[in-house]
A and B are shown apart, each in its own frame.
Chain A
Amino acid sequence: MGQKYLMKGNEAIAEAAIRAGCKHFFGYPITPQTEVAAYMAKQMPKIGGTYLQAESEVAAINMVLGAAAAGVRAMTSSSSPGISLKTEGISYIAGSDLPCVIINVMRGSPGLGGIQPSQADYWQATRALGHGDFQVIVFAPSSVQEIVDLLGKAFDLAEKYRMPAMMLADGMLGQMMEPVEFPETEPKMAEKPWAVTGHNNERPHNIINSLYLTPSDLEEIVVNRFKRYDEVKKNEVMYEAYQAEDAEFGVVAYGATARVVKSAVNQAREKGIKVGLLRPITVWPFPEKEVAAFGNQVKKLLCVEMSMGQMIDDVKLAVNGSCPVEFYGRTGGVVPSPAEVLKAIEEMAK
């Protein structure tokens, strides 16, 4: 690790991607993620990379498909409404077994919604980033440093499992500034014998495709893909437990909301409430076993989100009725305050 810099979350996304060997970025501006594209536009020409502002989000994601098919590290970035536009392309990328990284800096929704922070795209990210049977690895960083730490990993895992990876951030994380250090390790690109780079009459054609004319062929491809998903679930779950060891009450929260919750947990501890936080760092794969164990340990769980309650579904599935799961959330671009979350913790502990 070297020198520390003060960076906006969005800038850190862009710089970390460049350092992870991403030289191909295709984007389209939308608040609150535009700094990602602006940073790429400034820096890509300096490193011999490609920054392209596409004519739409649909075009940008299809350019990512093309670049990924050619074997390079490619990325696109948007915010909620723009991600909805990209979902067709994401499904094609997943159906073509291509690695790439997609950034979603979530904002208020549905529809055009608003430009303030939100976490209302959890269902979309973990269940419906397009049509069809597929998953995307979804990282949910909680600090600007964690964005930096996870972005290289997102590219690595996307290549290892040949699937898209998403960085699910929110407007608060994208816009806030924190000190960061960049790792001084060189990116390790995976071998890509499947890439369409020209065969030079030395090997058979490589074909990147998501169309299968025979149902049983498509079924076999999808079933095999799900075997890879099982490996991801087994190997790649990430989470953080905070003040959880002796907790009698538990909170589950991710992203910037988890930062608010940490403040509230500290305040609740000062008031003598034994409460802890379990923070999923990957939301797909979801830390099912860890949340289940936490549910068995505590009397009650509280899920806090900047939405009407979406991750709470995964929490309830994980605990499978072993303890009550309560909810506190703000939506529409409203960020909960530590005082509000403390009140919800106090209610739970009554």
Chain B
Amino acid sequence: MEKDRWITIITGHYGSGKTNLAVNLALDAKKSGQPVTVIDLDIVNPYFRTADFSKLFSQEGIEIIAPVYANTNLDIPALSGAVDGVLRQKKGVIIIDVGGDDAGAIALGRYSEEIRDVGYELIYVINCYRYLTKNPEDALTVMREIEAASGLRATKLFNNSNLGKETDGETVLRSIPFAEECETVSGVPLWATAVESRYADELSSYSIYPVTIYVGPNF
């Protein structure tokens, strides 16, 4: 993070856990004292999105740019004009939470030129408990589709394998061979494995990213 600004893009299959990673990364980046902007670029998902955390972000001094009609009753995949401004002018950390699959990544393609100019990390989130990406071959097919739709390359894999509320340390441990195989087959380095902080000890011999769970229903 030596440059004035840096873009971290979060992509993945639907429901792989992109938004929860975006929220964790934003809060952690803010703790390190840098200005942080989160861009909710999801034009696919109607509920459970980064725009849900506007209040938390504003308390923490994190700027959020969301589609104008996010979380309203208007079902329009319109992007905010403010995205261009942020990509061109902002200093600090920019985290882009992209919609699922190649369908969601189309919106990212709109900005690929500006993003390449600035420099970026494109994180591809994997979850072996998602039915349609349960083996490395299927997971990496989705990654290639996202790369094609966005015009950008995946630079890191992030293992976010989880079973929602039933996730424990053992659940995450069982996903490690899957994540390692994704790394071997794709040649894209595995950056880390997400684990809820309370289970971090069980995975201390692996490269982990301890997370807090923010995304989910209110009950």
Contact = CB atoms under 8 A, between A and B. Distances in A.
Interface of A: 4-8, 11, 15, 31-32, 35, 39, 42, 108, 113-116, 171-172, 175-179, 256, 259-260, 262-263, 333, 335, 337-338
Contacts of A4: 129, 163, 166
Contacts of A338: 218-219
A77 to B, nearest CB: 16
A266 B89 CA distance: 50
A114 B76 CA distance: 12
Given A4-B129, A260-B219, A338-B219, A178 B14 contact: no
A27 to B, nearest CB: 17
Interface in B126-152: 127, 129-132, 134
Nearest to B217: A176
Main secondary structure of the interface of A (DSSP, over half): mixed
B: interface residue count bin: 20 to 34
Q: Counting chain A CB atoms within 10 Å of each CB, which of B48, B130, B218 scores highest? A: B218
A269 B160 CA distance: 36
Given A5-B131, A6-B129, A337-B218, A178 B164 contact: yes
B75 A115 contact: yes
B164 A177 contact: yes
Contacts of A31: 46, 75
B127 A6 contact: yes
Given A8-B15, A42-B132, A338-B218, A175 B47 contact: yes
Contacts of B218: 260, 335, 337-338
Nearest to A256: B217
A5 B134 contact: yes
B162 interface: yes
Contacts, number: 75
B204 interface: no
Nearest to A4: B163
A5 B129 CA distance: 5
Instruction: State the 9 A-B residue pairs at the shortest beta-carbon distance, nearest first.
Output: A114-B73, A179-B163, A5-B131, A175-B47, A6-B129, A263-B219, A260-B219, A179-B166, A259-B219
Contacts of A256: 217
Q: Chain B CB within 10 Å — which of A115, A116, A172, A262 has the most?
A: A115
Q: Secondary structure at chain B's binding surface: helix, strand, loop or mixed?
A: loop
Contact of A333 (B15, B73, B127, B217): B73
B119 interface: no
Contacts of B75: 31, 115
B163 A176 contact: no
Contact of B164 (A175, A179, A259, A337): A179
Given A5-B163, A7-B15, 8 more contacts: A5-B129, A5-B131, A115-B75, A175-B47, A177-B15, A179-B166, A256-B217, A335-B218
Interface in B156-172: 162-166
Interface of B: 14-15, 45-48, 73, 75, 127, 129-132, 134, 162-166, 216-219
A148 to B, nearest CB: 11
11 contacts: A4-B129, A4-B163, A5-B131, A6-B129, A6-B164, A7-B130, A32-B47, A113-B73, A114-B73, A116-B73, A259-B217
A8 B14 CA distance: 9
A7 B217 CA distance: 14
B165 A178 contact: yes
Given A108-B73, A338-B218, A115 B46 contact: yes
B162 A115 contact: no
A31 B75 CA distance: 8
Contacts of A172: 47, 217
A35 B103 CA distance: 12
Given A32-B47, A108-B73, A6 B217 contact: no
B48 A6 contact: no
Contacts of B73: 108, 113-116, 333
Given A5-B129, A5-B130, A176 B216 contact: yes
Contacts of A260: 218-219
Contacts of B132: 11, 39, 42
A32 B46 contact: yes
Nearest to A332: B73
Contacts of B166: 4, 179
A175 B46 contact: yes
Contacts of B48: 175-176
Contacts of A335: 217-218
B163 A6 contact: yes
Contacts of A8: 14-15
Given A31-B46, A42-B132, A6 B162 contact: yes
A114 B23 CA distance: 27
Contact of B219 (A32, A35, A262): A262
B149 to A, nearest CB: 15
A11 B217 contact: no
Nearest to B129: A6
A11 B131 contact: yes
A28 B164 CA distance: 29
